[in-house]
Chains A and B, each alone.
Chain A
């Protein structure tokens, strides 16, 4: 165990000792970099994420959060009352509809039903007879 830790320490020491030393700065290279910086047009503050977009996103997130909370905490309005329908009895039909028109419509419905019944009977007879013969 001790041997391992000794070798690890020796390795660390060897790594630290073998680090190449720093040379002095190259003025030509520095000048080139500075010239490039001077030649580059300044970035518009609108395009700097740290100055514009992040605060804007934070404000938008806060607004969305507040809106959500407001929607959740909004007091619920009572449901609108359904208007009551007037209760109508059979006796009130006479008041709602003229008697003559009522009789005529019922008579025509009865005539229609009788015709339909006659047609249905004729069709049934015809089919049953066709099965038999």
Chain B
């Protein structure tokens, strides 16, 4: 558990830890990702996943989606520190704004023959995964879903010859008509 940023013993209280998805809108300038990543490492906060890409090319704005865990006070600190960064436009806590849509994409390579291979195909079909590549001894599947679905899929694939996994991390958006 990350401690409060003090060298003195924390007050004896146990705060529950929760998972938050933050959407951070930033100017896409050199070093902006290093500023965000450095803030987390420098202050001992967790990053569970981080995705970033330019979303508005004309104004060079990127959207960073960060999944992090911490006590409520740590989450508040993270948001306050992110908002202080000069190239940051806005920080929205999608976990607080309600049940956000959260999707992640993964590529899974399974290697095997015979019954194992057949079982891998059945499981992929059951999850609705797409086959992106196939050889006589392997498949590459693509699955898009919530982090939990992907975790389940990968866990099952482990039994039938999982060889490699690549995941994008979470992209998220609030439900309803309002934009950010």
A and B form one complex: no
Interface on B for A, CB 8 Å cutoff?
none
